[in-house]
Amino acid sequence: MGTLWSQERPPEEEQPTEQRSRWWAPARRLLTAVLLLGLFLGSSVVLFYFLWSCGPRPCKTPACWRLLKYYQASGNTSVPPCTDFFSYACAEAEGANTSFQALAEENKSRLQKILDAPRSWPPGSGEEKAFQFYRSCLDTDAIEAAGAGPLRQVIEELGGWPVSSNWTSLDFNRTLRLLMSQYDHFPFFRAYLGPHPTPSHSPIIQIDQPEFDVPLKQKQEQKIYAQIVREYLTYLNQLGSLLGGDPIQVQQHASVSISITSRLFQFLRPLEQQQAQEKLFRIVTIEQLQEMAPAIDWLSCLQATFTQMSLSPSQAVVVHDLDYLKNMSQLVEEQLSNHSDFLQSHMIFGLVGTLSPALNSAFREARRLLNRKLQELMGRPPTPAYDRGMQCVEETGAFFEPALAALFVREAFGPSTQSAAMDLFTTIKDALVTRLQRLPWMDEETRKEAQDRVTRLQVEMGAPGGAMTPALASQKYSEVRLGPNFLQSFLSGIRARRARIIQSFLEPFPHHRWQVSPWGVKAYYSVSDHVVVFPAGLLQPPFFHPAYPRAVNFGAAGSIMARELLHIFDQLLFSGNCLACDTYALERELQCLERGYAAFPSPGGTSFGGFHLLLESAADVGALAIALQAYNKRLLWRRGEATLPNLDLTPQQLFFRSYAQVMCRELSTQDSQDTQSPPTLRVHGPLSNTLAFSRHFQCPQGALLNPSHRCQLW
């Protein structure tokens, strides 16, 4: 029955059902269309909101507004970016400083504000002594009142000076020991502790060339050379007069001192020549060194300088230019045989120049005038006007670095900034590990070893760990004695700094020994400790800020980080150091880079050459590629990219602009001693080898920065 009931209906019931069916069909189609239209409109709104929320937004934080002002002041956007991106980013930059030098000045100003703030410290603490030293440095009235008296006292302790006082003819090596150990002055050579050049990189005494007070060069025009000598002679005559010397006698001793300097300089061998001859260093014992350069009492001089060590004739030392030391010794023996008083004057002249920052205005003005004349002769912009406050900041920072480190880091590199910087570094390091997998010239075993080296690399940021512990920092200043005059305080600071550096090498220290101050702007890779260091002073605006668009941080600070990471593999690129690599492919890329860089017009007619310069340029190109790869990966995982307002740059364009901003520098300030390419090449070389740059700036094929062929070593 149930079945029949379901299948059979009266005829009168079937008609209304058919009518409803005919009416419902078009209604259903209409309803479906309305629903589809609503779904389309709704999804469009959602998609529009999604794209709008993920698109670049203008960053309007105070940090971004300051960066915008900085970029607008340093760029010239009327220049075509595809032919001269350096001018596009840097043409309007004011002053002779590089971007790094400008940042260094800003950091010193911040440190000066810290030192100027009224504070109280525990008696005898490193902070108390630092602030006392700074205030005594600023007390120019007391320094002027003391006159040349404190300096004369120092000269008397060294046996006097033939041109200005009674001279006790002391033993030459006794005077040299005092200069080295008590005044940190090395007139004929430098001696310092450093890591052994071969594994295990244990501390070892290094004997190197001296740092000359006169800017002589291996290749210098005779006219320029004569003018430099003339200006330096005038300066030495002034020093003798300020110390009451007879003008005729002063003139004679000053001339001989310059002659000694000139001859010592001629003994030097250029670094390129040492590299070509594979004589960068030699390891000898003190006894062997004594035989080869007998004029110096090496054991007594080194023992007095490195009192924390127990030395013997069998002690090994590293000698960086043995030929220089042999010739220097012969010159000293000649002077001792004929004119030992001239040799004494030469050492005193050099010491007075070293101590000039701690002397009265007459000595400082003589030094300032000399520096200005030398800058003019070398074709460099004049140095800024003398600022006593900034000079005192520099001296206080140099002598009391551990005590001031924590104060600077708390002021400039808080936890949020450090966390953001570490996150950036991790992303850059991961990008390098990924990139190593694609290098065609590396064999599989070398690739795995390279990736392992990156993985094992340590990183330190901000300041040394021990410097952030006030108790440990204060212990380093127990021997500092301030007074009775500023020169004595200055000398006490010199001695304490030298003892601190030596002790840091000798202590079994679990952390890396920093080579820069926390407010410095130089990152570096330490081969001996396999650690890369980024001081707090470097990770600052305009290179880095947590509130910046990611494009800025990756383009500026990220490329700096990537460059230091690539220094891990410097030795790998030297000929014969990677036997299992595809040397043909490696050489091909190096030659490609060399040809590409040589094709760029270089300011001042300088030429691109030398393997060291080639390696530095390869690191520039690789660093930009790694930073860009890391930035693109970050864009895939994190939405909400920002750009700078009113700059009319996409995030990718801002990335390249930020990279170039790091290199900004006036072309006339390029030093011939620089190991880097000129700033234009450091911008144009990497950009021309980056296809993404041409794409984002829509560079036509064949433009200077969009060549038909690109090189990519890394």
**SS3 labels along 61-112:** CHHHHHHHHHHHHHCCCCCCCCCCHHHHHHCCCCCCCCHHHHHHHHHHHHHH
What separation in angstroms does the CA of 96 have from each of 89, 279, 365, 380? 16, 36, 22, 9
564 counts as catalytic: yes
Give residue 335's domain range.
Answer: 172-380
- Do residues 337 and 425 both lie within one domain? no
CA angle 448, 450, 456 (to 5 degrees): 100
Looking at residue 550, which CATH number applies to its domain? 3.40.390.10
Beta bridge partners of 458: 531
Longest Cα–Cα distance of the chain, Å, equals: 144
Residue 125, in any domain of the structure: no
- Do residues 463 and 569 both lie within one domain? yes
Residue 194, in any domain of the structure: yes
Pairing of strands 531-535, 282-285: unpaired
> What is the C-alpha radius of gyration for the chain, rounded to an integer number of angstroms?
33
Residue 147, in any domain of the structure: no
Distance CA 310, CA 252 (A): 41
C-alpha closest to that of 426 among 566, 551, 541, 561: 561
Distance CA 651, CA 657 (A): 10
Residue 1, in any domain of the structure: no
Q: What is the pLDDT of residue 273?
A: 58
Name residues whose C-beta falls within 8 Å of residue 563's C-beta, 6 or more positions apart in sequence. Answer: 619, 620, 622, 623
- Do residues 205 and 345 both lie within one domain? yes
C-alpha closest to that of 631 among 538, 549, 565, 698: 549
Do the beta carbons of residue 264 and residue 210 sit within 8 Å?
yes
Do the beta carbons of residue 329 and residue 263 sit within 8 Å?
no
List per-block mean pLDDT (blocks of 10 residues) for the chain, which spans 714 residues.
37 46 61 64 48 70 95 89 93 65 93 93 90 96 96 91 75 94 96 88 92 73 86 94 91 94 87 58 96 98 96 96 95 91 93 93 94 85 83 95 92 95 97 93 92 95 81 73 93 93 81 89 92 96 96 97 94 79 88 88 61 86 97 81 91 96 63 64 94 96 92 88
Residue 482, in any domain of the structure: yes
Q: What is the pLDDT of residue 21?
A: 52
Q: Determine the length of the chain.
A: 714
- Do residues 564 and 685 both lie within one domain? yes
Looking at residue 357, which CATH number applies to its domain? 1.10.1380.10
Q: What is the pLDDT of residue 413?
A: 95
Q: What is the pLDDT of residue 192?
A: 96
429: tokens are: 């390091």
Distance CA 440, CA 576 (A): 17
Residue 613, in any domain of the structure: yes
223: tokens are: 């006219």
What separation in angstroms does the CA of 262 have from each of 214, 257, 294, 374? 9, 9, 21, 16
Catalytic residue among 127, 231, 401, 620: 620
- Do residues 339 and 457 both lie within one domain? no
C-alpha closest to that of 172 among 316, 48, 336: 336
- Do residues 493 and 570 both lie within one domain? yes
What separation in angstroms does the CA of 321 have from each of 206, 210, 280? 11, 11, 7
Distance CA 585, CA 441 (A): 5
C-alpha closest to that of 163 among 329, 347, 332, 358: 347
Q: Looking at beta carbons, which pairs linking 585-589 to residues 24 or more positions away fall under 8 Å?
A: 585/440, 585/441, 586/441, 586/713, 589/441, 589/711, 589/712, 589/713
Residue 438, in any domain of the structure: yes
Beta bridge partners of 57: 642
Pairing of strands 203-208, 190-195: antiparallel
- Do residues 607 and 677 both lie within one domain? yes
Catalytic residue among 84, 127, 395, 564: 564
Tally of structural domains, the chain: 2
**End-to-end CA separation in angstroms for the chain:** 86
- Do residues 367 and 407 both lie within one domain? no
The model's pTM is 0.84
- Do residues 352 and 407 both lie within one domain? no
- Do residues 512 and 554 both lie within one domain? yes
Q: What is the pLDDT of residue 638?
A: 66
Name residues whose C-beta falls within 8 Å of residue 653's C-beta, 6 or more positions apart in sequence. Answer: 696, 697
Beta bridge partners of 642: 57
Across the beta sheet with 458-462, the strand order is: 458-462, 531-535, 524-526
Burial grade of 108 (CB within 10 A; 0-12, 13-18, 19 or more): middle
Pairing of strands 203-208, 316-319: parallel
Q: Is the previous residue joined to 707 through a cis bond, with omega within 30 degrees of 0? A: no
- Do residues 413 and 352 both lie within one domain? no
Q: What is the pLDDT of residue 37?
A: 64
197: tokens are: 């050049």
| Helix residue spans in 312-400 (DSSP H) | 322-338, 340-355, 361-377, 388-399
Phi, psi of 419 (to 5 degrees): -65, -45
CA 10 to chain centre: 99
Do the beta carbons of residue 560 and residue 548 sit within 8 Å?
no
Distance CA 703, CA 81 (A): 10
- Do residues 289 and 434 both lie within one domain? no
Q: What is the pLDDT of residue 40?
A: 60
Residue 153, in any domain of the structure: no
Distance CA 423, CA 578 (A): 32
Q: What is the pLDDT of residue 583?
A: 86
